[in-house]
Amino acid sequence: MNEIPIKTTCTACGGEGCLYTGRTFTLAGREHPLLTCCSACDGKGTLLSWVDMHQLVQLLYAMEVEQQIE
C-alpha cells in the first residue's frame, strides 16, 4: 500500500524541540535556563507518522465534520 508521511507537533515539548530542566546562575547573578533535547522527537519539534490512503481519507473527513460543527 501507499503510505503518506504526516507531521504533527510533538506533545512532549510543544513543538519547541527542547525541554526545560532547571536553571543555573553566573557569578554576576544572572539566571540562565538549562535545556535538553526532547527525547520524543529528537529535538525536531515534530513527530512523523505514516498513514495509508484509507486512513488519510478518514482523517480528512473527520476534519471536515469538525469544521462544519463549528
- Residue pLDDT tens, the chain, 70 long: 688 898 999 999 999 999 999 998 888 888 989 999 999 999 999 999 998 988 888 988 998 888 888 7
CA distance 5 to 46: 12
Looking at residue 56, what is its pLDDT?
87
Question: Contact, 38 vs 55, CB < 8 A?
Answer: no
CA distance 13 to 42: 10
List strand residue ranges (DSSP E) for the chain, in order: 3-9, 18-25, 31-37, 46-52
